[in-house]
Amino acid sequence: MTDAPADPADEVVDLCRDLIRIDTSNYGDEDGPGERKAAEHVATLLDEVGIESRLYESEPGRTSVVAQWGGTPGGSRDGGLLLHGHLDVVPARAEDWQVDPFSGEVRDGYLWGRGAVDMKDFDAMLLAVVRARQRSGRVPDRPITLCFTADEEAGGHKGAQVLVEQHADELEGCTEAVGEVGGFSATVRGRRIYLVEAAEKGMAWLRLTARGRAGHGSMVNRDNAVSTLAAAVARIGAHEWPVRLTPAMRTLLAAVGDLAGEEATPENAEALVEEFGGAARMLGAVIRNTCNPTMLDAGYKVNVIPSEATAHVDGRFLPGHEDEFFATLATLVGDGIEIEAVSHQQPWETPYDGRLADAMTRSLLAEDPDAIVAPYLMSGGTDAKHFRKLGMASFGFAPLRLPADLDFTALFHGVDERVPVDALEFGARVFDRFLDEV
């Protein structure tokens, strides 16, 4: 055991800074440094306080960490709890940033760097709380599985998916899971609302392929693959998907409606979402299915009409609305274009009630009594999609009390990613309280 502080808020910033300084950029291919160095660092931090961990490497350098912690005979009626975060980050171009994205610099009350928001902040909170509690003997009665994964930013296929499919014994007995992208605050009409992730959209990363007749660019060609594909992509990009309110978003918008003095309905949902300011770019995407064209590829010479053109689209569908999504997409694409799944993952939704939800709400309100806590549906995807295959109820809970003028959702995968130092400390205190009740 070390003599480091037993208050998790005392070391959470240093832990996050050190993790940011380890470049774990995930390019979605064979490039990049991998997560091995960060995984070894996490294993060392756990070992320092007497927690044994194991490293699982799906490919050279693509490394996840798992450890078992806590638990007493008869100590929990709810089964085990999985606490999970990922070690990889999306790439960053240093020339675009005000600071070196892997410097972990503290400036103007913020910790800057790639991963400060997504999601080395939560990794650091989790490590700080576990280390502090282990030192002081405050180990939860409930058995806890700690998991720090590889490859989440590319779908988790080399990280969480491998653990679920090849090392499920490490996750045996876990009935609930808590991970990233929830518990952060937004300010609406002067009130802080903490958004706890209780649902995720499904993912449909798709490749569209149009085929036609190759020929000379100077001649008439009514079987042009580029033209056919471009028209389909334009229809997809211009489509207005209808509003659909899922249980989590009905609850969240009802809370906003109370502040605005009106009942939340599908008809005013978009106006209520706009109350969130910058966060509306994310929340506006979770009251409907979405499909955004992201990549185009065709041809090899300006005067040659190619026989094939491809596009990639990023489709996300709401829980309960997958069939509607694919039926609409097929109509938009039209005939003669092949649709192939690059990654197809299911949506999920967990009712925001029960012991775990109550613990999250109480731990936040203990630190911020005048706030509102509500569930929401997240537009992106996390490793929860894989862990839920083992039957776990899932939430996203990485608590952060944020300034009203911070456009927080723009920092996910964005330039100048940063997190307030006091928000990290707040999160460590809240998560420590949360573990008292799980």
**268: its two tokens:** 């005013």
What's the CA gap between 216 and 73, in Å, rounded? 76
pTM greater than 0.85 (yes/no): yes
Residue 51's Cα: distance from chain center in Å? Answer: 27
Backbone CA torsion sign across 73, 75, 78, 81: negative
Q: Say whether the peptide bond before residue 378 is cis (omega within 30 degrees of 0).
A: no
Other C-beta atoms closer than 10 Å to the C-beta of 54 total: 12
User: What are the beta bridge partners of residue 64?
Assistant: 56
What's the CA gap between 147 and 394, in Å, rounded? 14
DSSP string, 125-155: HHHHHHHHHHHHT---SS-EEEEEES-GGGT
Domains and CATH numbers, the chain: 8-181+382-437 (3.40.630.10), 201-345 (3.30.70.360)
Q: How far is CA 426 from each of CA 122, 163, 432, rounded to the nearest angstrom?
A: 12, 31, 10
Instruction: Enumerate residue ranges in the chain where pLDDT < 50.
Output: 1-2, 4-5
DSSP string, 319-343: TT-HHHHHHHHHHHH-TTEEEEEEE
Write down the pLDDT at residue 2: 46
Write down the pLDDT at residue 425: 98
Write down the pLDDT at residue 76: 64
Backbone CA torsion sign across 384, 397, 128, 362: negative
Cα radius of gyration rounded to whole Å, the chain: 23
Angle (deg, nearest 10), helices 120-136 and 12-20:
140
C-alpha triplet 140, 351, 65: angle, nearest 5°: 45
Write down the pLDDT at residue 433: 97
Q: Cα-flanking dihedrals φ and ψ of residue 98, to 5°?
A: -75, -25
